[in-house]
Structure 1
Amino acid sequence: MDKTGQIYQKGAGIVKASYEVALLVAKNMKAHTIAESLIMPAAKILVSHVIGEEVVAKLESVSVSNNTSNAAKTELLLSQDRSSTTTGKDIFNVLDNFFKQNELDWGKLVGCTTDGAPSMLGRKSGFQAHVKAVAPNATAVHCFIHRFALCAKVLPPKLLLCLN
């Protein structure tokens, strides 16, 4: 993302559309494949007849597929040794200094993946709370491995067998 946020803004609408379609499919308790086999073809027909064929190409960038070709990318923001404590406040201060040194705006932060002890990263007094104080619209997202583990703890045996 550049400092103006332009690259993010172009991709954010595409990702948001993809998630909103997935949410709509889930709320209607339909198979996830319906988006690829029915919704997207119908959207292309509607757009081509109502708005124009040239706009249909924009829909191609919205992923509604179960097997998306968009590769997930994880990048390390920074790596720094911690000689002091690792409280939520300490972690926030390290990141805040990094943001200031690189002229980054907390207000443009949309999501952050949290990984660690709830007491350290918690939403009441931990890292999440400090981020929310400077970026109220930021959303904390629990690490996907931990989400998987949390779900597995409460699944009925038949579903757990399927998951395993």
Structure 2
Amino acid sequence: MSNKSMLKLSKHFQTAHCSLQGKDVNNFKRLLEQQTKQAFAFKSRVTLPEKAQIASYQVSEMIVVKMKSHILLLNLLFLPACRNMMKTMLGEDAEKQLSKIPLSNDTVHGRILEISTDIEENVCRKKLPAYFALQVDESTDISNKAQVMAFIRFTDGDRIVNQYLCCKELFATTKGEDIFLILNSYFEKFYLSWESCVGICTDEAPSMMGSIKGLASFVK
């Protein structure tokens, strides 16, 4: 640094920071440490909500993979176990941080729907090849609601892709025509053509394989 710059810096220090004159180097080191800690604390407060949201989606995805009731896993197993481990290993402060993750029943339910919609749109809005095959099954969920679930198989370059397509509730009956109408409405929504469907894999239920009123006959 040149002498001219040193004089300017000294003049600025004397006029703007006269209260600090005569302080030793250790005092300035303490000030620097305090400012660093404050900046780190501010950054932690800013980034924690974002991390909490990410953790919320991660937990919701794990619940989906396990195919269990999210109410059962969160209230009776997952959260109590996590709290106990965090408190034992890292202390009460870590346990309090865990409580900031949004994991209420309604929140997790909404996360699961968002994940399902995201997968659905990624598959259906992707440029599909000329042909694909479907696997369709009709069953009931844990609340005894009838549902139809569909998986799609297609080629993407040199690999064969097996992907979840949709799960729709059957509000009226579980006849082949009802299943077809729901799937057909779904195809129209995402501009999928039955002409590109080269095969359907189902069980041997009459609603699926019936020669007159089964799903396969309506598709044909």
The alignment's TM-score, normalised by the length of structure 2, stands at 0.29
Report the structure number with the largest CA radius of gyration.
Answer: 2
Select the structure with the greater relative contact order (CA < 8 A; seq sep ≥ 6). 1
> Which has more strand, going by share of residues?
2
TM-score w.r.t. structure 1 length? 0.38
